[in-house]
Amino acid sequence: MRLHILGICGTFMGGVAALARELGHDVEGSDANVYPPMSTQLEALGIRLMDGYAADHLEPAPDLVVVGNAMTRGNPAIEYMLDAQLRYISGPQWLGETLLPGREVLAVAGTHGKTTTTSLLAHLLESAGLAPGFLIGGVPGNFGVSARLGAGKPFVIEADEYDTAFFDKRSKFVHYRPRIAILNNLEYDHADIFPDVAAIQRQFHHLVRTVPGNGRLIVNAHDERLAEVLAMGCWTPVQSFGIGCGDWQAELVEADGSAFRVLRGGELLGEVRWSLLGNHSVMNALAALAAASAAGADPRALLPAFAGFESVKRRMELVGDVGGVRVYDDFAHHPTAIATTLAGLRAKVGEARIVVALEPRSNSMRLGAHAEALAPSLADADAVLFLHRPGLPWDAQRVIDALHGRGSTAASVDGLLAALRVEVRPGDHVVFMSNGGFEGAPRRFAASLAR
């Protein structure tokens, strides 16, 4: 079958393309952002890429058009597809109907930590010899690819609550029908599609409704909003996880989260020592371990595998250590993620200075939905440079004012990098935070230090 994928260079749709190719389909696709590294990864798989969304990209007609959720009415390719009555489907629905039936699906949902937890769960199952397939919204260090079919029965998928497509406004995860589902946390996000947190809770409950009675829900014991979701109705055994509470518990050995003991039902299983930092990373670890155990792996035997876990690209990724300045690239999209990441780094570095370069890139950030929470989330930063592009529809000065002398703005990436070069001194930890490309700022800054 010949598939044409619209929006093929996004991490999720690129993973769909790789899986379809591995299944033996003839795959091609269009995107407005055809450039490395995704373009080179896809081309290496024999997938033909077309720049832009011209109608003639769909001529001759493919057997099926797989539509990414970035596509909207008015897009030339979408209008041609509809006018020509081509067969089309969303990426999540294609997965749910074509690839996932017959697999043991393990879905990882939550506002934060999905990509890291999904990668960690795949790594644990691989370490247990279960050869999982996976689709991850990032590139996991232990595998080097964002998606694969896998030779075993388990299939691990990052279960996003964002909407499916322009013609299907349900959350993506309702298509996956998992037997094991992690509910990692739930906060307000995606202000462009959800009016309030209750709307997100309803979507999470739609996911809960699809998990069978002989499956398992792995749920954050600290999260009151998830407790409210389960109170709407739950038909599946639940195991909770938490630091100092829950069925699966962690006791910190090191305050920065780099070492902790694991207990299940009050029984000590052993100790984890690894490279990740922060309480949020410890929570991700517990969730992944509990899910791997539900899939049949021996959790005690898995504890040494944490030491070999290589985190996902752009999750506090160290991109340079030049002249005593350490430069990190972090995929930050929400104040809670910013706060927990910086708290973990603060616990690790003690009194050393932390300098943050922040781009408000997610839809919720750009709309100002998190504006009031941004300054408090930066409490562990000694200095903050905020990228305030002219098109930002809200005034970032209120965030800067709330930082009480620790913050400043720049109107461009070039201006931000110039200001950073003045600000930074040996011994500093510089964290670039954005869920977009940030115009390559982290590596550009590290290169400028080297010069």
Give pLDDT tens digits for 38-48. Answer: 788 888 889 99
Integer Cα distance of 161 and 175 in angstroms: 11
Give pLDDT tens digits for 436-450. Answer: 778 889 999 999 888
The pLDDT of 270-291, averaged and rounded, is 94
Residue 369 has pLDDT above 60, yes or no: no
The pLDDT of 381-390, averaged and rounded, is 88
| Mean pLDDT, the chain, integer | 91
Give pLDDT tens digits for 311-336. Answer: 776 677 888 888 899 999 988 767 88
Residue 131: predicted pLDDT: 98
First-to-final CA distance of the chain: 51
Integer Cα distance of 384 and 372 in angstroms: 16
Residue 364 has pLDDT above 90, yes or no: no
Residue 58: predicted pLDDT: 98
Cis peptide upstream of residue 299 (ω within 30 degrees of 0): no
**Residue 245 neighbours by CB distance under 10 Å:** 12
Residue 365 has pLDDT above 70, yes or no: no
| pTM of this structure | 0.81
Integer Cα distance of 24 and 405 in angstroms: 58
**Among 99-113, 153-167, 404-418, which stretch is predicted with the lowest mean pLDDT?**
404-418
Domains and CATH numbers, the chain: 2-93 (3.40.50.720), 100-308 (3.40.1190.10), 317-450 (3.90.190.20)
